[in-house]
Amino acid sequence: MSKPFHAPPHASFLQKLGPGGAASLGLALLSCFGLVGLPWAYRLAQVLRGASGDEAAPADAILVLGRRLEADQPTRVFLARLAHAERLWRSGLAPRIFVAGGATGASVRSEAEAGRDWLVARGVPLEAILLEGRSQHTLENLFNVRAEMRDAGWSTLLMVSDSLHLARAQATAQGLGLAVRCSPALEAPPARGSAGWWRRAASEAFLLHWYHTGMLYSRLIRSQRQLERVT
């Protein structure tokens, strides 16, 4: 069996698509326009519901999902995610923190390395931090972390991201068979209810619709190569 597709470091948008990506994107766009936005509105409601809850509970590991760096440094959004993960770790909800994210954009170092350095500077022991430094997007974050979890015999994750990202991240994790609970980094910008917040919500709603469209498309055409990436 061939290895599932993984985008190369610093991948462009087209490189990230992978097998079936362009077709599922086209289907997602067509279904949104053809059904006068109803699929998008349905997913928007899911994004907003996902942004309002906190499921913090004991787990084998806390997972911080990566975010593209700027000038090789964490952005305010990524810093908010890391700070929330640190608080959860200090409260004793998990003995370790996974930091996920490869080298994206123009960055020299990976998102995971930048996150580790920030956590260590805050006093988190190096041995309590695990890195997933190969991925280019959320699906690959979770796919690679799942492999490491299975190798270590761990089963539960407490997943941290900014609130509007969590609905898509949770759907992706569940598609991969991961047992996850979600805890939002509420201090991450943009401010709740602002124009930027609603733009991000609208974008996440379409990305969530695209994810589900891709899952359905892969199953309908019975593409083992595509399903290996998402299940």
Whole-prediction pTM: 0.93
pLDDT of 211 > 80? The answer is yes
pLDDT of 1 > 50? The answer is no
**Per-residue pLDDT tens over the stretch 171-189:** 999 999 999 999 999 999 9
**Per-residue pLDDT tens over the stretch 90-141:** 999 999 999 999 999 889 999 999 999 999 999 999 999 999 999 999 999 9
**Per-residue pLDDT tens over the stretch 84-100:** 999 999 999 999 999 99
Q: How far apart are CA 45 and CA 40, in angstroms?
A: 9
Let me know how long the chain is.
Answer: 231
What is the pLDDT, as a whole number, of residue 2? 53
CATH of domain 53-184: 3.40.50.620
pLDDT confidence tier of residue 54, bands split at 50, 70 and 90: very high
pLDDT (mean) for 38-63: 96
User: What are the residue boundaries of the structural domains of the chain, listed by start?
Assistant: 21-49+194-230, 53-184
Tally of CB atoms within 10 A around 193: 8
